[in-house]
Copies of this chain bind each other. A is one copy, B any other.
């Protein structure tokens, strides 16, 4: 039944949302099933009807976050009619920022905890970031071949770029509501492209 399925899905999201908030606030280990079910307004047993374990909810949250993030990241299109690569990069970063700002708890979960292999649950995050790293690395290698990108260890450089994005995004956890996403995105991109040294005036 569609209605039954809808109800089940609603319940599922109710739990996911509660769990997300608790995990974000307290961290995986300090978060207890107790807090989650209290926050979700459900009974202890109900939780296990929807998720097989504490690890499973955490994984589920991360998974959908990563799927969502993935959808924001679009490989740069270099074909003639496409927008300039700069602009495409900027759009990618803007989309990712907006995705995070729509649900700030995700910043903690993905950006912060995601990197800590504290819990076996976080495996997916490694894979995701690995995927992003590869994407960046490939782009760098391509750019180097074209002479657009400075020669460097592409893997290391990709790690630095990703790191700089993480560093920048992490700041947003506590950022004010009325943030100009476009401006922030510009700075994130510009830093990665040109560094901090003053660009000589054109």
Contact = CB atoms under 8 A, between A and B. Distances in A.
Interface stretch (A8-16, A67-75, A143-151): A143-151
22 contacts: A27-B116, A27-B117, A29-B29, A29-B118, A29-B119, A30-B119, A115-B116, A116-B118, A148-B198, A150-B197, A152-B191, A156-B184, A157-B187, A157-B191, A161-B167, A161-B191, A162-B167, A164-B164, A166-B166, A192-B196, A193-B197, A194-B195
Contacts of A29: 28-30, 118-119
Nearest to A113: B116
A36 interface: no
Interface in A102-153: 112-113, 115-119, 140, 143, 147-153
A150 B192 contact: no
A53 interface: no
Given A115-B170, A156-B171, A162-B167, 13 more contacts: A29-B30, A30-B118, A113-B116, A116-B118, A149-B197, A150-B194, A150-B195, A150-B197, A150-B198, A160-B192, A163-B163, A164-B167, A193-B195
A33 B192 CA distance: 43
Interface of A: 26-30, 112-113, 115-119, 140, 143, 147-153, 155-157, 159-168, 170-171, 184, 187-188, 190-199
B198 A195 contact: no
Question: How many copies of this chain does the complex contain?
Answer: 4
A189 B136 CA distance: 19
Given A27-B117, A167-B161, A147 B194 contact: no
A117 B108 CA distance: 9
A143 B196 contact: yes
Central interface residue in A152, A159, A192, by most chain B CB within 10 Å: A159
Contacts of A196: 140, 143, 149-150, 152, 157, 161, 192-193
A113 to B, nearest CB: 5
